[in-house]
Amino acid sequence: MPEQPLDAIDWKILGRLQEDARASNVDLARAVNLSPSPCLNRVRTLEASGIISRYVTLLDPLRLGLTVSVFIQVSLEKQMRNALDTFENSVLAREEVMECYLMTGDADYLLRVVVPDVQSLERFIVDYLARIPGVASIKSSFALKQVKYKTALPLPRPATKRR
């Protein structure tokens, strides 16, 4: 959390940068009704506080031949710290793992994996995932269609003025 609470202009900056991280400082300042210098100072403060953690380019997986998206539930034999660390470190090393969450419920972990084809998925599961020490079970579900995907976080909407 920042040392000072975010104000309406900070929220506008964050919203605009989530829409277009390549917006120039001049365009960003214009969009949030600031002059460029104070706008840049605010962005730098948001970066220094860790609220803005990084800037990325989003690629289209289908255009890159990554046509298979799979959600994989993994259960471990025991939820001991060393087993969790071993699994997490193993998964962190794999490029095809896009997301990994420690879960409550039936499975210990939920992974989102993107690969070019079913054979690549088979190799990932059989040759790698199933060989991680402590893995007890693996269940996969193929995504048939991506209905919604977004990277922008929901931000508070500015209060509307009443007349």
pLDDT of residue 2 exceeding 60, the answer is no
Does residue 67 sit in the same domain as residue 44?
A: no
Number of structural domains in the chain: 2
Between 2-16, 30-44, 115-129, the lowest mean confidence (pLDDT) is in: 2-16
Q: Let me know: does 140 contact 96? Beta carbons within 8 Å.
A: no
Residues 6+ apart with CB under 8 A from 10: 42, 46
User: What is the CATH classification number for the domain harbouring 96?
Assistant: 3.30.70.920
The per-residue DSSP string of 26-90 comes to HHHHHHTT--HHHHHHHHHHHHHTTSS--------TGGGT--EEEEEEEEES---HHHHHHHHHH
Residues 141-151 have a mean pLDDT of: 96
pLDDT of residue 45: 97
Identify whether residues 138 and 67 lie together within a single domain. Answer: yes
How far is 114 from 121, CA to CA, in rounded Å? 8
Q: Please tell me whether residues 83 and 125 are part of one structural domain.
A: yes
Could you tell me if residue 38 is inside a domain?
A: yes
For the stretch 83-115, pLDDT in tens is 999 999 999 999 999 999 999 999 999 999 999
Place 1 in a pLDDT band, splitting at 50, 70 and 90.
very low
pTM to 2 decimal places: 0.88
Taking only the tens place, the pLDDT of each residue in 21-54 is 999 999 999 999 999 999 999 999 999 999 999 9
In a domain, 148, yes or no: no
> What are the phi and psi torsion angles at 81 (to 5°)?
-50, -45
Q: How far apart are CA 111 and CA 97, in angstroms?
A: 7
Residues 89 and 128 in one domain: yes
Domain containing 18: what range?
8-48
CA distance 21 to 18: 6
The CATH code of the domain that includes 41 is 1.10.10.10
